[in-house]
Amino acid sequence: MKLDILAFGAHPDDIELGCGGTIIKHIDKGHKVGIIDLTSGDLGTRGTPEIRLQEAEAASDLMGLSLRENLNFSDGFFTNDNEHKIQLVKVIRKYQPDIVIANAPSDRHPDHGRASQLTIDACFLSGLEKIDTQQDVWRPKAIYHYIQFNNIIPDFVVDISEYFDKKIEVIKQYKSQFYDPNSNETDTVISSKDFFDSIEYRAKDLGRQTFCKYAEGFISHQLPKVNLLNDLK
C-alpha cells in the first residue's frame, strides 16, 4: 500500500498529541495516512504496553488511519544505529510515503529527539540503491516535525479549526495516560487535571497568530517551496 503521509512517533499518543488534527484533516480530505509507533511506551509511568496498544487501536479507528504498526523498539533505550535505521528503511520503502512526519527535533523526553534524527537518517538512506532490502528504493519528498512538550517556533502551521474537537476526542482514547480521579497510579506531567487546557492554549495561540481558531505547528526539515507568493497565507 502506498501512503500519502507516514507519521512516526517514539511512543503511542505522540502523534495524536503533536499533530492529530492535521492527520484527521488530511484523512478527511481523502489522503491515505499511516502511523508507525517505534515503541510500546512500556517505560511510561501509567498504563501497560497491552493497555496502550488497545488505546492506540481505538485512536486509530477514530481517526480512520489506513494502517498503524508498532516496531517494538526498546522504550528509552533504542538507538540510532544501523539495525534500527534499516528497520525504518524497510518501512519507508514498503509504504512509499510522499510526506513523512517525525517527532520534534529536540524535546523534554530524550526519545523524541532521538526518534526524530533516526527518522531523518532512514528517509535519506531509503533512497540509496546500494542498501539492499529487496525493495524498490524510495525517498520521501518532504519531512516535517510536529511540536511536542517544549515550545518551538514553527516554520508553518496547519489550520485545524474544524478538527480540533475530534483531535481531543482521539487523544482521550489514551485513558491510562491522562487525568482520572479514580486512578491509583502515580501522577505525571500529562495526567494533571489541566493538561488539556495546555493543548487548547497552544492550538489557540498558533491560531491567533495565523488568523484562525486552532492550528498545529510544524518544523520543516527542508526549505519549503511555493510556486507563487499567493500560496502563502
Question: Which domains are seen in the chain, by residue range?
Answer: 5-231 (3.40.50.10320)
pTM of the model: 0.96
The span from the CA of 119 to the CA of 102, in Å, is: 7
- pLDDT tens, position by position, 111-133: 999 999 999 999 999 999 999 99
- pLDDT tens, position by position, 63-85: 999 999 999 999 999 999 999 99
Please state the φ and ψ torsions of residue 162, each to the nearest 5 degrees: -80, -10
Q: Which three cell numbers stand for residue 35?
A: 502511523
User: Which of 81-85's residues contact partners 24+ apart within 8 Å by CB, and which partners?
Assistant: 84/118, 85/118, 85/121, 85/122, 85/125
Rg for the chain, CA atoms, rounded: 17
pLDDT band at 196 (very low <50, low <70, confident <90, very high): very high
Whether residue 181 has pLDDT greater than 90: no
State the amino acid at position 32 in one-letter form.
K
pLDDT band at 107 (very low <50, low <70, confident <90, very high): very high
Say what the pLDDT of residue 59 is: 98
pLDDT band at 191 (very low <50, low <70, confident <90, very high): confident
Q: Which three cell numbers stand for residue 1?
A: 500500500
Say what the pLDDT of residue 94 is: 98
Question: What is the mean predicted confidence (pLDDT) over 173-196?
Answer: 88
Question: What is the mean predicted confidence (pLDDT) over 190-194?
Answer: 88
Question: Would you mind telling me the total number of residues written for the chain in this entry?
Answer: 233
The three-class DSSP label of residue 205 is helix
What value does the mean pLDDT of the chain take? 96
**Placement of cell 499567493 in the chain:** 230
Question: What is the mean predicted confidence (pLDDT) over 17-35?
Answer: 98
